[in-house]
Structure 1
């Protein structure tokens, strides 16, 4: 009876039938065929009016998606039916019906029944539907499905298909300009950005799809794309949440003085594994996605097109400011030349301009060594005239000087000596921010070009370098690191020669014995000749002797012109050689003196050329290890210490972006007014009780001794005098205390 009732109940109770079919598909094939025919008839009726709600169809679709793998031959057309129905009527379907169809397809995809190349383009088109919950469901599935498809190896076929489809959706949003196409294009850009951050789609095609979205007429799409490029150098959030790091040492100490159990051992092992994972994540190099801006196919065309958008002034100020920031960053990274961008910045370089610090950041980022100084000089003068005046506040002056410094860091030729010396006079200003900004500008030009500074501002190190001519002034179009060899490499070679001390070494004559014992073995080459390992040393020795002979010859041919026209033999420096050439123009020398002077000048030139060739040869024939670079840095620092005591601060490292904090500089905390002080006081009192007496409050720290005695065991208080007195009371005393207790209770009721 029970079995017959259950069999009669199955056609109307799909979850129970679903459970039974998954356990034994063959036994319940007849019941499934009955439900399959019912589904086909319900679906055909639904297609007549697809905009109506159908709970029965939703239940049947869910049931079929759960048991499809049990009857693959019967249900082979089921996924295609759902796909066709969504393609034709996705915009008119009821919300619940459409959601059930999508969930069924996602379930079939997770089971591997449906291919993602068929499903994902459909899901992208479903972004057009005005259903926020459905969009979130589709978005999470698309991102996870593409990520899983590229987990083991890159699925290039799927990636190319979807990227091309996204590009067509962006174009449809531009041409059609409908609200549905705009939403679908926006979600496609979000998917590209999310996959790029997850290092799934980090190729040039993805970046250029997002770059094309920057020019979309739809504001949401363009702002999303511009924000991606502006924030691409920030470290992305980790997928795993930060776990609390356990105190391993504390756990080990606790286990030493307690009972050993398996649970404690498991906790200790888990803590060790967690610490190991944390240490591995810390050892990994920080991954900054600088490559996004480098992967743009045509940076010059992209920057010019974005700059043309700025000149139209169609967008709001915030959007134009972001695009201005992106154009300046691309100009700085790729060292582009867009001369019309700098006059555009000058219009906004006013202290009253909103977000003027971002405009100064844009001016600094758009500066590089290949920008003509004539284009940047008006920008620097505009900053100096508008910001560094006595009519503005001290913070504005500091911001102006810091902006000039950041521009001059990238293009030192953008400022002239007169303006630089005027700005340097603020080094004694009463405001600390202005003072530090002016001193940082002086420190920059002490390293780049100290000749532009006043003599009193050059410093000891720069003055000594100017005298011996070791400072090289960089001209326009020439980078500061454009050297023929590696600077300071001769210092490393000289230090290695000094370190080599072969006096304490002894020659080992037992070469035959070492060969027999398995030591060094002479390996012959093809023609049975042995390799001569001392050839390099002999060549180095010959080169050293030759260099010493050349040095002696040079010293013999160096002269100085005396007051009476005679030439004296001495070592000639760069500045002295210049004086000799001036003396040649002013004094009349004999032919013999002129010949000797010409020989001295020629020898000086040959000496410089020989040094340059030696440095170039050394740099091109030797492979330096990281230890050699570290030693080279130490030698450079020690050489700086010969000029002045203390470590010399190096040049400012130029990064790809300028931080707004570097423009603002260190700022003094402003004095609080009465309202701010009271607000901070009230904030400190949050979560704390008020001051005053606690009399009458029910919340107390503890109870009295009398209250504690009521809960004590009788044997603990049997010896008390109060207990003994109660047992010895007379009948009259007992009646008296009882009446007093009754009267007290009556008074409490009133």
Structure 2
């Protein structure tokens, strides 16, 4: 009887029939065909009114998609029926039915019944539907499916088809005014960005599809595309997540030290260790965002088009500052020339301007060696006139000088000598931030062009380099030969030869009977009649001391004023023909030496591979040659500039002094510190105390321990009157407690 009832229920109870078909498909083929014919008839009726709710049709589609693998011939046209239904009536279908149809297609795709080249374009068009849950389902499936398709090898056919389809969706969002097209284009851009960051679609076509989205009239689409090119926080977020995991692991390990060790706690620690190890192995592919800027097909056209949108002032300020940042990055990386961009920046270079530090960052990023100095000179004068004045605050002055320094580090010819020397006068300012900004500007020009500084600001090493002629001032339009970083590379060979000579003394023996002057004992020093010691105790800012004359006469100590007078006299005297010939010969000798050094550098660059350790050693030897024994690392123009040409905003702001808090800020910090802390006051009556009181301890003591106490002995010797008196007191106390 039970079997008959179950057979009668099979046509209506689809989950039970599905289970039986998966176990034995041949035995239940008739029941399946009956349900499939029922699906076809229901579908033909539903197409007439597609906006109605069809719960029975959704159940049938789910059932057939689950068991279609068992009957591939009978269900060959089933996926096409669902695809046609979604293509024709996707916007008017019931949300539950539409989600069931999409889930059925995803199931068929996971079982390789459907081809993704036909399915994924349909899913992109379904983004037009106003169903947030459906969009999330489609988004996750598309990303996962493309990732799996490119897991073993690049599926170029699928990638090109989808990228072209996304491009058409973006174009439709530009021409059409419907919100559905805008949502589909936004989701398409999100998928491109996600796949690029996962290192799946990292080719130039993907980057240019996203670049085209920067010009979309829909603000959300353009902001997403611009953020893709400007995004640099991913590595920080990943490092923060790693730090959080390590902190949790350390916290668990410390807790296990001070508490009881259990198997559950040990299991949690093992799981945390495996999680950190797994994260280290399967690390997310590095996404260098600057490479996306390098993959642009037409960076000049891209920057000009984005600049024209920026000049039209159609967007709000937050979007405009992002586009301004992107234009400056593209100009700096590709060394483009857009002369109208700099006058646009001058309008916003005011201390009262919102996000003015970001405008200064954009100005510095858009500066490179091929920008004409005449274009940048008004920008620097505007910064100096608006920021570095006595009418502004100290923070504004420091920001202005730091901004000028960042611009001059990329184009030193943009500033004239008068303005530079005027800004360097702030090196003795009472405010530390202004003083440090001015000194950083001095340090920069000591390295790139010390002639523009005043003599007292040049420093010892820059003065020596000026006298040697080793300071090479790059003129506008002059290109370097690519060997700038290898200057002084001959020092590596000299250092290696010296180390080799030092190693050669290892096999020698010391003669203890030798009467050498270098042995332990007294050292011969010159007498008072001989030459004096020449000990240089001066700083970098001090002038160089005069050297000994060539005829062997003793040195004379000359004061600074006398030395300046002699130098001025020498300058005023006209040069004779012999002196002019001597200068020409010296210049020719110096040029020959420079030519030899250049040939040596070129030879080493073509015959030897330098490691990072060699470059570090080369920098150390250069520093030792310039400053003797000083090992302080000087500021260079490349230290503040990242690989992608980005300028850090904190380099413009500089070190800032912590402002004094007002009453509201102090009270807010006090209340924040009190969060999670128990209330201040007496702990009397608190049950959560660490131990019991002395009275409670006395009650729990063994009687033999307290039997000889006076209080216990007095109780046994009490009279009847004392017992009555204590009993009345106890009763009175109990009555008072009730009230």
Q: TM-score, normalised by structure 1?
A: 0.79
CA distance in 2: counterparts of 1:594 and 1:725, whole angstroms: 123
Mapped to 1, the partners of 2:8 and 2:732 lie a distance apart of 77
Residue in 1 aligned with 2:380? Answer: 380
- In the alignment, structure 1 residue 632 sits paired with structure 2 residue 618: yes
Instruction: Measure the CA separation in 1 of the matches of 2:55 and 2:136.
Output: 23
Q: In the alignment, which residue of structure 2 is the partner of 1:350?
A: 350
Select which of 647, 658, 676 maps to 1:669. Answer: 658
Alignment partner, residue 634 of structure 2: 649
Change (3 A) 1:274 1:139: closer
The CA distance in 2 between the partners of 1:595 and 1:364, in whole Å, is 45
What are the equivalent positions in structure 2 for 1:398-547 lying under 5 Å apart? Answer: 398-479=398-479, 482-483=482-483, 486-501=486-501
CA contact (8 A) 1:232 1:290 kept: no
Q: C-alpha deviations, 1:356-403, integer Å up to 9, x for none?
A: 111111100000111111110110000000000111111111110110
Partner of 1:90: 90
Contact 2:207 2:296 in 1 (8 A): yes
Task: Give 1:661 deviation, angstroms.
Answer: 1.0
- Residues 248-397 of structure 1: pairs in structure 2 closer than 5 A: 277=278, 288-397=288-397
1:235, CA displacement in angstroms? 2.5
Match of 2:26 in 1: 26
1:744–1:61 CA distance, 2 compared to 1 (3 A): farther
> Which residue in 1 is equivalent to 2:549?
none
The counterpart of 1:679, out of the listed 668, 671, 675, is 668
1:30 CA drift (Å): 2.0
> 1:595 offset after TM fit, Å?
9.2
Matched pairs, number: 667
- The farther-off stretch of 688-697 and 462-471 is 688-697
1:675-705 CA distance string (max 9 Å, x none): 2112211221122233233445565555556
Alignment of 1:45-64 (within 5 A): 45-64=45-64
Give the distance between the partners of 1:65 and 1:730, measured in 2 at CA: 98
1:183 aligned partner: 183
| Equivalent of 2:605 in 619, 625, 645 | 619
**Mapping for residues 221-236 of structure 1, pairs under 5 Å:** 221-231=221-231, 234-235=234-235
* Counterpart-to-counterpart distance in 1, 2:27 and 2:240: 46
Task: After superposition, give the CA deviation of every residue in 1:422-458 in whole Å (9 maximum; x if it has no partner).
Answer: 1111111111111111111111111111111111111
CA drift of 1:618 comes to: 3.8
* Change beyond 3 A, Cα 1:464–1:285: farther
Counterparts in 2 of 1:34 and 1:737: CA distance versus 1, 3 Å? farther
Cα pair 1:349 1:356 within 8 Å, conserved: yes
Deviation at 1:647, TM superposition (A): 2.4
Tell whether the 8 Å contact from 1:246 to 1:275 is kept in structure 2 after alignment: no
RMSD over aligned Cα atoms = 4.1
Q: Residue in 2 aligned with 1:555?
A: none
Cα deviation digits, residues 300-347 of structure 1 (max 9, x gap): 010011111111111111111111111001000111111111011011
Are 2:461 and 2:627, in contact at CA under 8 Å, matched by a contact in 1? no
The answer to whether the 8 Å contact 1:485/1:616 transfers is no
The CA deviation string for residues 483-535 of structure 1, in whole angstroms up to 9 with x for no partner, is: 489311222223333444497799xxxxxxxxxxxxxxxxxxxxxxxxxxxxx
Q: Provide the rounded CA distance (Å) in 1 between the counterparts of 2:223 and 2:251.
A: 50
**8 Å contact 1:489–1:619 — kept in the other structure?**
no
For 1:607 and 1:652, how far apart are their aligned partners in 2? 27
Distance 2:506 2:118 in 1: 77
**Structure 2: how far apart are the matches of 1:676 and 1:462?**
48
Cα distance change of structure 1 residues 213 and 465 upon mapping to structure 2, 3 Å threshold: same
Structure 1 segment 544-583 matched on structure 2, within 5 A: none
- Counterparts of 2:686 and 2:265, CA distance in 1: 44
CA shift in 2, pair 1:27/1:118, >3 Å: same
Cα 1:238/1:718, change in 2 over 3 Å: same
Match of 1:79 in 2: 79
SS of residue paired to 1:76: coil
Q: What do the CA deviations read for 1:246-266 (whole angstroms, capped 9, x no partner)?
A: 8799989x99xx99x999998
* More divergent stretch after superposition (669-678 vs 732-741): 732-741
* Aligned: 1:197 with 2:182: no
Matches of 2:631 and 2:682, distance apart in 1: 62
How far apart in 2 are the matches of 1:405 and 1:183? 44
Partner of 2:154: 154
Gaps in structure 2 of 5+ consecutive residues: 508-570
8 Å contact from structure 1 (residues 197, 236) kept in 2: no
> Which residue is 1:173 aligned to?
173
TM-score of the aligned structures, taking structure 2 as reference length: 0.81
Write the deviation string for residues 133-157 of structure 1: whole angstroms up to 9, x where unpaired. Answer: 1111111111111112112211111
Match of 2:212 in 1: 212
**CA distance in 2: counterparts of 1:298 and 1:276, whole angstroms:** 42
CA distance in 2, matches of 1:484, 1:704: 80
Deviation at 1:623? 3.7
Query: What's the counterpart of residue 660 of structure 1?
Result: 649
CA distance in 2, matches of 1:683, 1:446: 48
Please report how far the alpha carbon of residue 74 of structure 1 lies from its aligned counterpart in structure 2 after TM superposition.
Answer: 1.3
Give the alignment of 1:236-247 within 5 angstroms.
237-238=237-238, 242=242, 243-244=245-246
The structure-2 alpha-carbon separation of the partners of 1:748 and 1:304, relative to structure 1 and needing over 3 Å to count, comes to same
User: Is the Cα–Cα contact under 8 Å of residues 199 and 287 in structure 2 kept in the other structure?
Assistant: no
CA contact (8 A) 2:388 2:400 kept: yes
Question: What is the CA-CA distance between 1:652 and the residue it aligns to?
Answer: 2.9
Q: CA deviation at 1:179?
A: 1.3
Displacement of 1:609 in angstroms is: 3.7
Q: Verify the 8 A CA contact 2:197 2:285 in the aligned structure 1.
A: no
Structure 1 residue 181: Cα displacement: 0.8
Alpha-carbon distance between aligned partners in 1 of 2:444 and 2:480, rounded to the nearest angstrom = 14
Aligned to 2:119: 119
